[in-house]
Structure 1
């Protein structure tokens, strides 16, 4: 039997209850998984598109049948309120079904060679082929949903996938993995590796891995990208965000404050890459906005994530709550004023609203991964755009205004991957391209984009095809 050091405990972050144990795989064990994945990839590539689609639809049906117990397990190990984890499992089911359709739409292209003198009678076409073995490194905040994007996309394209679940909340993905065997997936087409950073780095280094897809921090993304580059593997990164919400003088303030509450304080316990993390409000409506936001934040119910009345559960770990507590303290030290929340109890952190936040505070420039809403003033929309663009991140942004021309003008000048007009930045529809600019990584994830990115293009030329 392996010694105790070869395992980590998975606990409920709110209660400390031990939910299971996760083996920490050795380098040799990871090597064996990758070696087996080569056979799994051959089997997946040999499946016709309709069979790959059928496999994903079968898994989706099995997920749907186990939706409630899987959502409860995810809530227990992750800390998100139960109604939100039910929504996450629902999203994963949609992703598997939507991606199944993409398996049958991997179109090639015919190129007119009569554009080149002397090649008029020849035919050129391209086809899409699988890359090989894809490593999918999954984050803790939305593990089932983000896993679904990566794994379903890899398999739809004819690849094998090696999934690394998040160490703190892997149990729901362990169950999903079992569903693939029950659905009759080819042996070794879908495998898991468990452990921490060394396992992620080994996957990025491994010559048997053709592509790595990672959702995580920018620090992690830089390291995975550096390691993956040594073997010229494809590295697909969706990294950090520090999304700005701009509230203009003519905005619907009730809707704007709802966007902050629902898109930051009461969704994912604030642990969302595309959450509203900075709020810039026109000075003429600043005080009214803060008053409304403070009242709504103070009314949120914090507690046991398995109770349906709960709107904000525990963060993923006490250390995560401590980091949020430290960031808020820094903002206050820099001159911000706390108007709501900001109290830590173990892994719980009451949703915090801060006003009079200095725009040059270093803590505002960093991604605070928890239920915190810092609010700063501006006097000119151009100033707000400059403040939003000053971040090293560029995932999403939002603007609230009743002026359509102003909305599009601001949206066009924001250096981000997506802009939501009169809504929260915490919006991700699985059929849309999702990703950002700058330190957010540049990759786009979504039904079509993921599957296409996990293929390669081959050109075939038929000489004298029209002879």
Structure 2
């Protein structure tokens, strides 16, 4: 990607091919877009719930009709293998349809005032109303899916949405924005703002934005929260992760190794916030686990993300691969042994397995955003849980064991937002609450949760209703 004062070039990270351009918006242009969004929000709020649902269903059908085109465009601009981008577009379709259903079941409550002496004759009810204009800041790793979580939920709840696509791979969302217009969405109800960090900062600062929802790094989340505080806007953050996978001595070794391959090395090119980023293996099965992991890793194909045979494509940019290379170098310098991979070619980074990783290595505490699996040993499950919890992040974790009692005991003690038993941490179903503790942000995103969070409660009291 290269930038000019007014345009951003979007390229294939593997080949450098120019795929398109988007505007690099000025502050004045962003301010105008946000101001216009106010009228769009009033129009969306005036739509009955069934009409908002119909709009989202219409867009979902248009995405479905263009599914293969969108998946290919997303693979080209993002670097993920084509089969995975097809799955991402499918997820977005389900999210739009799920949010359409949620639009028709945004419930209030009747609160019994006879719980308070002297108020027995009165009636209280609550209703949920839209917040206003929602800013959705979308990351590069799963842009179509995570955009859907934010934008579809915002519209379902009666808000307008201003979307900032990732600057390195915005073209798929530009295409979906056109679908909103074709579906007859109210003018200014759904708008894109393309550009860099200053655009994100403006979305957090401008008083015309009622809420900001961000998926991104902890550093970015902290800055957006700080800037949003000045106008008391609602800030919803789903941030970084350094997910641990614990393999107990009674685990199915091959399935645990497969979870690392599929949940770290061969999904999203390792660029997933909930990927398996640290593996703690009981010393009694360590060697068998590593043997299985290396055998499975050797079968992975690295190359052109548009070929069906490719398992791992290029990272989002060469600079991202350089950062991964440096992180692997720090682990090796701290005493880890490189068992597989570790080489870089431009934006490509070969799937990498590191063994004998020192658990106190500062590099192990980092969130490495690429296809790297660091393996450390443990002898006591309590130590494994302690090491997993020592991370400043708390997104998800996983435990492999054939003892269901042990599995739930470990799950309860892990300070994370979600625990997967006998599976990879890289699991996200759109109807589940997803998010974490500590520096992961504390928010939970999901079809029901996000629609609800993008509304506010109003209480209405009818005096003497039961007099």
Do these two structures clear the TM 0.5 threshold for a shared fold by scoring above it? yes
What does residue 330 of structure 1 align with? 330
What does residue 138 of structure 1 align with? 138
What does residue 58 of structure 1 align with? 58
Tell me how far 1:312 sits from its aligned partner.
0.1
1:56 & 1:325 partners in 2: Cα distance? 42
The number of residues matched between the two structures is: 465
Tell me how far 1:118 sits from its aligned partner.
1.0
What does residue 412 of structure 1 align with? 412
2:37 equivalent to 1:37: yes
2:270 & 2:416 partners in 1: Cα distance? 20
What does residue 304 of structure 1 align with? 304
1:165 & 1:54 partners in 2: Cα distance? 24
Contact 1:298 1:341 in 2 (8 A): no
2:348 & 2:311 partners in 1: Cα distance? 12
1:62 & 1:23 partners in 2: Cα distance? 24
1:206 & 1:139 partners in 2: Cα distance? 21
What does residue 259 of structure 1 align with? 259
1:103 & 1:228 partners in 2: Cα distance? 27
2:57 & 2:415 partners in 1: Cα distance? 37
What is the correspondence of 1:54-453 to structure 2 with a 5 Å cutoff? 54-453=54-453
2:412 & 2:261 partners in 1: Cα distance? 25
Tell me how far 1:6 sits from its aligned partner.
1.5
Tell me how far 1:128 sits from its aligned partner.
0.3
2:458 equivalent to 1:458: yes
2:45 & 2:363 partners in 1: Cα distance? 48
2:361 & 2:216 partners in 1: Cα distance? 24
2:296 & 2:55 partners in 1: Cα distance? 45
Structure 2 residue matching 1:225: 3-state secondary structure: helix
- Residue deviations 1:188-244 (CA, integer Å, cap 9, x gap): 000000100000001100000000000000000000000001100000000000000
2:277 & 2:122 partners in 1: Cα distance? 56
Tell me how far 1:117 sits from its aligned partner.
1.1
- Residue deviations 1:238-275 (CA, integer Å, cap 9, x gap): 00000000000000001000000000000000000000
Tell me how far 1:5 sits from its aligned partner.
2.2
Contact 1:205 1:227 in 2 (8 A): yes
Tell me how far 1:137 sits from its aligned partner.
0.1
Contact 1:321 1:349 in 2 (8 A): yes
Tell me how far 1:278 sits from its aligned partner.
0.2
Structure 1 residue matching 2:194: 3-state secondary structure: coil
1:117 & 1:213 partners in 2: Cα distance? 41
Structure 2 residue matching 1:162: 3-state secondary structure: strand
Structure 2 residue matching 1:80: 3-state secondary structure: coil
1:64 & 1:270 partners in 2: Cα distance? 26
2:284 & 2:63 partners in 1: Cα distance? 49
Structure 1 residue matching 2:466: 3-state secondary structure: coil
Tell me how far 1:21 sits from its aligned partner.
1.2
1:4 & 1:399 partners in 2: Cα distance? 48
2:4 & 2:405 partners in 1: Cα distance? 62
Tell me how far 1:298 sits from its aligned partner.
1.8
1:442 & 1:371 partners in 2: Cα distance? 26
1:381 & 1:116 partners in 2: Cα distance? 50
- Residue deviations 1:140-189 (CA, integer Å, cap 9, x gap): 00000000000000000000000000000000000000000000000000
CA RMSD of aligned residues (A): 0.7
Q: TM-score, normalized by length of structure 1?
A: 0.99
What does residue 15 of structure 1 align with? 15
1:257 & 1:72 partners in 2: Cα distance? 30
CA distance 1:413–1:104, shift in 2 (3 Å): same
Structure 1 residue matching 2:184: 3-state secondary structure: coil
2:321 & 2:119 partners in 1: Cα distance? 65
Unaligned runs of 5+ in 2: none
1:271 & 1:101 partners in 2: Cα distance? 31
Structure 2 residue matching 1:306: 3-state secondary structure: coil
Contact 1:342 1:351 in 2 (8 A): yes
Structure 2 residue matching 1:281: 3-state secondary structure: strand
Deviation >2 Å, runs of 4+: none
Structure 1 residue matching 2:119: 3-state secondary structure: coil
Structure 2 residue matching 1:128: 3-state secondary structure: strand
Unaligned runs of 5+ in 1: none
Contact 1:167 1:194 in 2 (8 A): yes
- Residue deviations 1:385-415 (CA, integer Å, cap 9, x gap): 0000000000000000000000000000000
- Residue deviations 1:288-323 (CA, integer Å, cap 9, x gap): 111111121122000000000000000000000000
Tell me how far 1:4 sits from its aligned partner.
4.2
Tell me how far 1:138 sits from its aligned partner.
0.1
1:356 & 1:4 partners in 2: Cα distance? 46
